[in-house]
Amino acid sequence: MMNPWSEIIRIALMEDIGRGDVTTNGVVPLGEETEAKIIAKEAMVVCGLPVMVEVFRQVDSRVRMMPVVADGDGVMPGNTIAQLRGPARAILTGERVALNFLQNLSGVASITRQFVEKIAGTDAQIVDTRKTTPGLRGLQKYAVRIGGGSNHREGLDDGVLIKENHIMIAGGVTEAVKRMRQVASHLLRIEVECETLDQVQEAMKAGAHVLLLDNMELETLQKAVDMAKGRCLLEASGNISLENVRQVAETGVDLISVGKITHSSGSKDLSLLFK
């Protein structure tokens, strides 16, 4: 299958390798074969193994990577994640880029899993946002799915979300929704950002299909849900934390979007060891 990640992997390898790995080429003989393993140094939900495969394939197609766990598996410190066999030069040269992807994506999957577990038993879903790391949009959205979350739109072209600034320019929710309905593809629903209960009313009346309830106090949020539940899909957003996410879910919203699962997930600690 066409690998949608090959371009960012190529860029990451280029920025690290440049004209060549002078240390490895100076110290490691050309024909040297080796075995290595990738070890978790802290607990995590693993994510990014297919990316690592592609990283090493680009460096040298003779490197064989044998995953010991699968994306989505939880591991503990010291667990082996994958084994590698092949040219020692290629493994050393590709190591850092491979780990850089794995540590970022495992971070995203791990924190997503934490949010998902906090709301277990409710009807709400954790969804991501467009607050992703530049260049890693597709990969981080994949990591969100691996962590048990769902994806919001991929970009500006595959979903309609009328936000505060759009409403301001259009002169109001009603007008903004009206304009959008005239041109939107019949395959797209229209979502509207609402900051007040009045806007919730107005958006429903204008024909919005999904409401983004932004930064509302819990009490207000509950009123919005009571007002709109069943008529629109409801998405809560803004200042969602592991502490408050369950309360938000229990209001009855359908979706809870969390920016920090992609933009501030932190890295997980991993290491590549030669045998």
Please list the active-site residues. 96, 131, 163, 193, 214
Query: Comparing C-alpha atoms, which of 85, 87, 86 is closest to residue 25?
Result: 87
How big is the chain by its Cα radius of gyration, in Å?
23
Which is nearer to a second copy, 186 or 219 (by Cβ)? 186
Residues 6+ apart with CB under 8 A from 160: 180, 184, 188, 189, 190, 191
Closer by beta carbon to a second copy, 75 or else 254: 254
Least Å distance, CB 104 to a second copy, is: 6
* Residues making up the chain, counted from first to last: 275
CB of 217 to a second copy, least distance (A): 18
Smallest separation, CB 47 to a second copy (Å): 14
Distance CA(203)–CA(182), nearest Å, equals: 16
Residues in contact with 131: Cβ distance below 8 Å, sequence separation at least 6, in sequence order: 259, 262, 263
Residue (51 or 245) nearer to a second copy, CB: 51
- Give the residue with the Cβ less far from a second copy, 36 or 47: 36
Torsion of CA 203, 204, 207, 211, to 10 degrees: 70
Would you tell me how many other CB atoms lie within 10 Å of the CB of residue 185? 7
**DSSP reduced 3-state for 201:** helix
Residue among 107 and 148 whose Cβ is closer to a second copy:
107
CB of 218: closest distance to a second copy in angstroms?
A: 20
Instruction: Return d(Cα 100, Cα 90) in angstroms, integer.
Output: 16
User: What distance lies between CA 61 and its chain's CA centroid?
Assistant: 28
**Of 19 and 219, which CB lies nearer to a second copy in the complex structure?**
19
Residue 266 beta carbon to a second copy: minimum distance, rounded to whole angstroms: 4
Coil vs helix vs strand at 209: coil
Query: Minimal distance in Å, beta carbon 54 to a second copy?
Result: 12
The amino acid occupying position 73 is D
What span, in angstroms and rounded, lies between the C-alpha atoms of 114 and 116? 5
262 phi, psi to nearest 5 deg: -110, -40
Instruction: State the number of CA atoms in the 13 A half-sphere of 127 facing the CB.
Output: 20
